[in-house]
Structure 1
Amino acid sequence: MARPLDQLPKAHLHLHFTGSMRHTTLIELARDQGLHLPDALEEDWPPKLRATDERGWFRFQRLYDIARSVLRRDEHVYRLLREAAEDEAAEGSRWLEIQVDPSGFAPRFGGLTRTLELMLDAAARAAEHAGIGIAMIVAANRTRHPLDANTLARLAGQYIDRGVVGFGLSNDERRGQARDFDRAFRIAKKAGLLAVPHGGELLGPRSVAECVDDLDADRVGHGVRAAESERLMHRLADRQICCEVCPTSNVGLGVVEDASDVPLRRLFDAGVPIALGADDPLLFGSRLLPQYRLAREEYGFDDAEVAELARQSVRSSAAPESVKKDLLKGVDAWLSAD
């Protein structure tokens, strides 16, 4: 009998702030504020997405921006993070690193600093409420000027002792080369933050290599296209650079046609550390636990291999060593249980 995956301790390292919102919460907040939602976010949810061309990405980004627009008051931020923490705990996730670009919220929440402080306070309260650990990754946007990224990196570094653990780079990787943001990542690394840029999703192995070479990435968001290069996989394995693989998201955005096409097994067998992630459950319709189910049911991972995926997520996280130790013990206990 297969061991219950919701009881497997794990870390969730690839979850975006707005995208973590419950669909029911999106609907409720929109109706309470008299905001109209497109059918793709209401009756036809989850939306049919395909972002491998510019038009498709524009539609994805438009839906994301509409969803973010319902978050207008402090209590909305507290609610989103409380519910996200509850959902994580229910799925066996004991450590969450949630990613946000505060620039998108700053105009309505009192500026960058006040926005980040609000989110960090909400994360701390949510963590205590749900009994899990929550940290934050501040992410720059590839479609904005690199100077904006520098500003965010400096801001993130100021809160390294208050819950910020990493600096990311998100949005369409076809817009803005990694090296354009190298100064921001140097600022972040100097402050002691992990470098966790997105790459290797919509573009191929070179995108992953640029994150490693130009941004000194500790982890790569997605990174699945690294499987197209044996040499790159060997580099990632040798340096233990984790790929945050999000299978349902890969299908939803048209990176692959079917879940069976996600090269999770290929990366794993090559020794590349993997942290399964849900990316944006609000738009893709599934949270973290279904990604582990896919590992077992679609990619043929046995319980020992599933446990190793959980260990790799913990080891690749920014959790304190004491937390990592406890989580790894929990993984061993899960595997040894009858």
Structure 2
Amino acid sequence: MLLDPVDRIHKIMELLAASSQGLTISELARICEVDVSVIKNDLEQMEWKHPLFPLWTNQYEFEEGQDREEDEEENEDGKELYDPAYSDEARWYFRPDYEQLIPVYFKPEEFFNLAELLTILPESSSVSEILERQVSAIVGDDLYKHQPVQYTKGNLDPYLLDEQLITVVQNAIEQEKMITFDFHNHETEVGPLGLVYYSRLRRWYIVAVHKGTVKNYYVKNVSNISISTQPFQCPEDFSVNEWLQTRWGTEFGDSFHVKIKFKNQSQTVSKVKKDVAHRVCQLTTEDNGDLLYEDTIIGRNEFLTWLLGFGATAEILEPADLRGQMRKIITEVLAGYNEIS
């Protein structure tokens, strides 16, 4: 029986979420009993209509530093461009590892201590190469758990960290001083706590106290950093790691209570238990094997990204506005089908 677009997208979610090895477009087309072109369109709608869909592929879509808009502008002869992500060899994934949703915290001196150990690196190695190795050494794996799987949304190469930025943060912490920098061209003075690496977006952040609130600042938007004359001392009872554990990703915002039902299908329950094992939350197993998950979280968009990875096996019960936001995401994706002649 031919599935309508809504049911077919749910089917694709479930298939990809259940497959640890990923599936090709041809395999998805055969299972869904549709033409390959239909699945390609489904994936395009899911991938580009909303940035929260956690689609992955083992093929790079474009060359480094090149995005889709630039590619389309250069395609003046009207020929269809070759996109490796949509080739017969590409395997698609819809299960983001939770490790990629947890930012990793570092004290600046950890970078330099590890750099001294990496004597095999040539002197010409860039700071970014050294830092990538340092992250791997601390985390115990590469920046992505399943190489060569890559996140496919645009150009997400790591932003190169400036060695001066690391040095300023380190010296300020040692001297118990605040730091000043321009953030989005606005001068800011904060008390530095360390550096945070968020592997899902491959971004570095300065984590710091600003007017009594702990925040993180994307280093790409930081310039003219220097040590201030104002004193700063981190409270002894404060832990950056504990502060991060209450969050999904690096978002700001108020905390809110969630209640989610996960269906007992395709190893969903076991994966949820693994993903939230570090959190202080409530898990209730129903008589039919379904799982109720209740938690208080910060990070609405990243939480939705996680939920989308479970496809139709996850249902938002509370809050109502989060349920509405999920419905809006699905609606935006499906709206693309109205544009197809």
Provide TM-score, normalisation by structure 2: 0.30
> Which structure: larger Rg?
2
- Please state which structure has a larger fraction of its residues in strand: 2
- Please state which structure has a larger fraction of its residues in helix: 1
